[in-house]
Amino acid sequence: MSEHTVLERELLGFAMALVFLAISGSVARLIRLPILLGYLVAGVLAQTLLRPFPSLILLSSVGVMLLLFFLGMEFDWRRLFASPHRLVTTAFDLALNFALPFILLSVLGLPYTVAFVIAMAIYPTSSAITLNALLQLRRLANPETETIVWVLVGEDLIIVILLAIASGLTGEAIGVGNVITAFIFIVVMLIASVVLTRPLEWFFEHMPSELDSLVSLSIIVFLSATAYMFHLSEALGAFLAGMLFSGTRDREELEQKLHVLREVGTAVFFFTFGLQAPMKVSAMGMLFGLAMLVFGIATKTLTAYASGLIEGLRRRARLRLLFSIWIRGEFSIIALFMGREVLSSVWQEAVSWFIIASIVVGMISLSVVGKLVERM
């Protein structure tokens, strides 16, 4: 196949993907659904016409880097450690939504690497989809929203550690040494996020403003590539790059400059996941996926109940909170992608459809139950 033919197919596929994204995003907005859900469904529906191709996968990778970069930039681990009762919530969430499924799956005879990846997919609520849905439902000012945000912040802290461990368990260089390398990388970046704040500010003050976006993107991709070079997840590198910028004064301006690229990349990330989701699911895959969904809803509901009590929320706010953190998304997808070398096809099917089902069921619970509680 000639270079011209390859480029022609890439451009045509990319154009079709963008058309699918534009239509699905518009439809999702029209029927008041989170736009990211529209992108994911578009990917599933586009499977008959498209398959993942290199340029789309590359843009998807850049999208997840930027998504994780912005999450890292908003994350302030010092504020979390300054609130002991929120650390209790984070510990309870971790025990119920990661440790418990990991132990149960290990007891059932799954290899610890497989159990780890599946538990990692079950654990985190999707920050991107949940906050986007709360914004569309005009619930950001509700009292339970702050509790939701702190649950998500705690999960962001834990997921960095889980990403590091998963990189060591599922990468090419599997072993304890690789896990240690991951933790050294995290510690170095945490120290850098404190020590390099002033130098970064000085650097950007003395650099032409039109180069801010290019230099920032270069730093993000470089740290992501460095993490990948050490057999770690590029998502981990991007998140830690965000923490490097978290203390700078110009981060809001940087967010605005990278906003368009982030939106396009995130859209392609969810679209690409939909493209790769298995359309034909075996009976066992469906059964395991359903079991994961029921278990995940139950544990997240218990987490929400405990969080509401710890935060001292009133009854109506606690009821809304119970149905607000069921949605899985970006981190669960990353866990699935990282674990493809160790997961069997049945478990890949189960995790894929667990993620999709949790988004659909979680969205219904957020919108419908929220309205019912308001009428009580």
Check pLDDT > 70 for residue 261. yes
Check pLDDT > 70 for residue 35. yes
pLDDT at 172: 46
Check pLDDT > 90 for residue 226. no
- d(CA 91, CA 59) in angstroms, rounded, equals 35
pLDDT at 367: 77
- Output the average pLDDT for the chain: 83
Length in residues, the chain: 376
Q: With bands split at pLDDT 50, 70 and 90, how would you rate the model's confidence at 287?
A: very high
pLDDT at 82: 67
Q: Is 352 helix (H, G, I), strand (E, B) or coil?
A: helix
299 or 191, which is more confident: 299
What is the per-residue pLDDT across 247-260, written as a single tens digit (0 to 9) for each? 776 667 777 777 78
Check pLDDT > 90 for residue 193. no
pLDDT at 34: 78
Check pLDDT > 60 for residue 53. yes
Q: How many domains does the chain have?
A: 1
The CATH code of the domain that includes 119 is 1.20.1530.20
What is the per-residue pLDDT across 167-187, written as a single tens digit (0 to 9) for each? 777 654 445 566 677 777 778
Check pLDDT > 90 for residue 128. no
What is the per-residue pLDDT across 295-319, written as a single tens digit (0 to 9) for each? 999 999 999 999 999 888 888 888 8
Over residues 219-246, mean pLDDT: 81
**Whether the Cβ atoms of residue 15 and residue 6 lie closer than 8 Å to each other:** no
pLDDT at 241: 83
What is the per-residue pLDDT across 112-123, written as a single tens digit (0 to 9) for each? 999 999 999 999
196 or 295, which is more confident: 295
The domain containing residue 140 runs over which residues? Answer: 3-375
Place of tokens 């907005």: 29
Q: With bands split at pLDDT 50, 70 and 90, how would you rate the model's confidence at 12?
A: confident
228 or 359, which is more confident: 359
Task: Choose among 312, 352, 294: nearest CA to 117.
Answer: 352
Task: Choose among 329, 323, 268, 310: nearest CA to 137.
Answer: 323
84 or 170, which is more confident: 84
**Whether the Cβ atoms of residue 265 and residue 55 lie closer than 8 Å to each other:** no
Q: Which range in 4-13, 103-112, 138-147, 262-271 is most confidently predicted, on average pLDDT? A: 103-112
pLDDT at 122: 96
pLDDT at 173: 47
Over residues 150-166, mean pLDDT: 83
Q: Is 192 helix (H, G, I), strand (E, B) or coil?
A: helix
Percent above pLDDT 70 for the chain: 91
Phi and psi for 154 in degrees, rounded to 5? -60, -40
Structure-token pair, residue 134 = 């709360």
Q: Tally Cβ neighbours within 10 Å of residue 174.
A: 16
Place of tokens 């029927």: 31
pLDDT at 375: 67
Over residues 233-247, mean pLDDT: 79
CA dihedral 186, 189, 191, 193 (to 10 degrees): -130
Over residues 42-71, mean pLDDT: 80
Check pLDDT > 90 for residue 194. no
Can you give the pTM of this predicted structure?
Answer: 0.81
- d(CA 121, CA 339) in angstroms, rounded, equals 10
pLDDT at 79: 65
**Whether the Cβ atoms of residue 365 and residue 350 lie closer than 8 Å to each other:** no
For residue 211, the 8-state DSSP code is G
**184-189 contact pairs (CB < 8 A, 24+):** 185/227, 185/230, 185/232, 185/236, 185/237, 185/240, 186/160, 186/161, 186/236, 186/240, 189/223, 189/240, 189/241, 189/243, 189/244
pLDDT at 104: 96
pLDDT at 207: 78
pLDDT at 370: 67
Over residues 179-204, mean pLDDT: 77
Q: Tally Cβ neighbours within 10 Å of residue 215.
A: 13
**Whether the Cβ atoms of residue 354 and residue 297 lie closer than 8 Å to each other:** no
What angle, rounded to 10 degrees, do the helices at 176-195 and 143-170 form? 140
| Cα 36 to Cα 55, 85, 125, distances in angstroms | 20, 32, 14
- d(CA 169, CA 97) in angstroms, rounded, equals 20
Q: Which residues contact 177 (CB under 8 A, 6 or more apart)?
A: 168
